[in-house]
Amino acid sequence: MEWRGAATLRPGRLRYAGAIAPAAEHAHHAVQILVANAGELVLGDADGTRLACRSAVIPANVAHSIVRGVEDGVLVLLAPESAAARRLGRAGGDVASWTRAAAAPPGGDAPPAPRHPALREAVRILPGLLRDGPVRLGAVARAVHLSEGRLAHLFTEEVGLPFRPYVRWLRLQRVIELVADGASLTDAAHEAGFADGAHLSRAARKIFGIAPSDFTRGVRWTVET
């Protein structure tokens, strides 16, 4: 089975509909929602437990695999700093908790979105820094007038991801935007700040569990700004 379908990328959210293929163990830097429109997905967690399900909500940075896909499904990735991700991404690290989270959406108030003004500014300026090569925590901290330690703490505490994984997530989003606009994977990798195609491939396999060509070859991309 291959990834075949249509995907839309908009600020803070990626939505894909179509065939969901198997993927090796990986950890998204985003909250993931999976829904099988027909049949059942088989998901695996880091402990090796496997479970068949119709839907699941997987928190950010939690290792998981798609052991068996479906021909017709929906996959949504929510940026970790978004209010929707912080409301939904409260499940644990085991596959049973992901299916329970999908069956019983959380009640109560959503955790607040990033509220520190310097952190909001850091999140705002980071996409524009990607094409210039390595993005250093120290440089961003100076730009928003915080210490490195304080900014690092705010990313983990309020975004839910450490600084470096968050930057990798932004780089992969930029690759998708560029490919959707007609760029080759090689050109997109350089434009997004990856050293080369091999660097992009390693990041994609770690974060998505598949090669970059797998999510570009059979997928029709639309980017909304």
pLDDT at 67: 97
Residue predicted with more confidence, 223 or 89? 223
Q: Which helix (H) or strand (E) holds 63?
A: none
Closest to 79 in 3D by CA, of 32, 135, 140: 32
All structural domains of the chain? 4-103 (2.60.120.10), 117-217 (1.10.10.60)
| Residue 139: CA count within 13 A, CB half-sphere | 9
Helices (H) and strands (E) in the chain, counts: 9, 10
pLDDT at 112: 56
Joined tokens for residue 12: 């803070």
Residue 215: band (very low, low, confident or very high) from pLDDT cuts 50, 70, 90: confident
Residues 6+ apart with CB under 8 A from 17: 5, 6, 7, 73, 74, 75
Judged against a pLDDT cut of 70, whether residue 53 lies above it is answered with yes
The pTM for the full model equals 0.85
pLDDT in tens, 71-112: 999 999 998 888 788 778 778 899 999 999 998 765 555 555
Q: Rounded distance, CA 60 to CA 129, Å?
A: 23
pLDDT at 158: 85
Joined tokens for residue 131: 């094409």
Residues 6+ apart with CB under 8 A from 180: 9, 221, 222, 223
